[in-house]
Amino acid sequence: MKEQDKFQEKIEQDEKIEPKDWMPDRYRNQLIRMMSQHAHSEIVGMLPEGNWITRAPSLRRKMGLLAKVQDEAGHGMYIYSNTETLGISRQEMIDQLLKGEAKYSNIFNYPTLSWADIGMIGWLVDGAAMVNQTMLVKTSYGPYSRAMIRICKEENFHRKQGHEIVATLANGIPEQQEMVQDALNRWWWPTLMMFGPPDSNSPHTNELMQWKVKRKSNDELRQDFIDRVIPEAHQMGLKIPDPDLIFNEETGHWEIGEIDWDEFWQVIKGNGPMNHERLETRRKAHESGRWVREAAEAYAHKQKLQQQKAS
Ligand code: BYC
């Protein structure tokens, strides 16, 4: 049986493709694109939240936020390692990010203006990420699928802590209620954009679904999220900032107004409110970590020499 046929049969039988298996170049490159973007999103995603660690309103909230940001770093490292199994080095991926050649999630190019934004990132953004990542647990590439199992467990915890922050503010004094509603107004539409462009304008979806890399399309996942999150918002007394929002009794689904796709394309092209600052921060962090990488390399080299001497 030809390699291509064996590969196709595995996909059809829902067997996982593993790093040493033969795979079409296009499958490999699509995964490198998608997984490296995912890893970069986890790393850049630490910045808007990290911004609030020193200003968290209590020790308990500070500890929760510190742990969450640390988890995101772990997810980034984990997915970079996973992507390395496809034949690209972590250094190459990081260089692409720092040169501004790689994409990362649109959502992290918006500022975190108040403490309520931290609740929104947990409840709304991690909630959206989880809908997408729960689907990716079933992706056809073995290492990515296994990474998603662990990451989803942590993301679920993040979502709960975000929900607790949002619910507390929504139940608070009028100023807190106003602050949390303002945060929802700013994060709602960019969060819906996280699922990617509409299916009719998504160049990669068809191919990725044929290979079972993606199991659901961008619009299907967006709808799953909308149907889940709107009742939660209403339960907390929050208003969805969409004058066209209606519940369709016949289909049982919420229907939203028009998403501003021009804004999405602008943000992912590098023209969002925080794109420049996010990349500058990453570049500085990379530069100031240089001595640590060099010291680790020198230490590893010394260890190797000592082992060679001893044997
Ligand atoms: N942002 O054909 P399409 C997190 C790009 S982080 C930016 O639909 P595809 C968290 C897309 O790359 C979670 N760009 O693509 C971390 C493509 O451009 P290129 C991050 C986007 O791959 C810290 C073009 O638009 N999750 O949870 O079929 C704190 C056409 O798109 C976006 C992942 O990365 C976007 N939102 O579908 C808190 C999940 N959407 O590459 C939380 C893994 C699209 O041709 N990725 N583009 O230049 C995926 O599931 C899929 O790649 C996407 C896009 C659904 C994102």
Instruction: Give residue 291's pLDDT.
Output: 97
Radius of gyration of the CA atoms of the chain, in A: 21
Residue 57 belongs to domain spanning: 3-273
Would 209 be classed as within a structural domain?
Answer: yes
pLDDT at 133: 97
Q: Does residue 86 form part of some domain?
A: yes
Query: Does residue 288 lie in a domain region?
Result: no
- Mean of all residue pLDDT scores within the chain: 97
Residue 306 lies in a domain: no
* Domain count within the chain: 1
In a domain, 262, yes or no: yes
pLDDT value at position 311? Answer: 86
Question: Does residue 303 form part of some domain?
Answer: no
Position 294 in a domain: no
Residue 302 maps to a domain: no
pLDDT given at position 1: 75
Beta strand 253-255 with 246-248: parallel, antiparallel or unpaired? antiparallel
Torsion of CA 183, 185, 187, 191, to 10 degrees: 150
- What confidence score (pLDDT) does residue 62 get? 98
The continuous run of DSSP H or E covering 191 comes out as helix 174-193
Note the pLDDT tens digit of each residue in 74-87. 999 999 999 999 99
The predicted model scores a pTM of 0.96
- 257-288 pLDDT, tens digit per residue, is 999 999 999 999 999 999 999 999 999 999 99
3-20 exposure pattern, b = at least 16 Cβ within 10 A, e = fewer: eeeebeebbeeeebbeee
Cβ 215 under 6 angstroms from ligand 1: no
CB of 122 shorter than 6 A to ligand 1: no
Q: Decide if 152 contacts 129 (C-beta within 8 A).
A: no
**DSSP secondary structure, 9-26, as one string:** HHHHTTPPB-TTS---HH
Residue 79, SS3?
helix
Q: How confident is the model at residue 168 (pLDDT cuts 50, 70, 90)?
A: very high
List pLDDT tens digits, range 45-56. Answer: 999 999 999 999
Residue 226 clears pLDDT 90, i.e. is over it: yes
Q: Is the CB of 205 under 6 A from ligand 1?
A: yes
CATH code for the domain of 214: 1.20.1260.10
Whether 134 lines ligand 1, by a CB cut-off of 6 Å, is: no
Closest atom of ligand 1 relative to the 37 alpha carbon: 34
Task: Say how far apart CA 169 and CA 58 lie, in whole Å.
Answer: 14
259 is written with which tokens?
């998403």
Give residue-wise pLDDT tens across range 117-144: 999 999 999 999 999 999 999 999 999 9
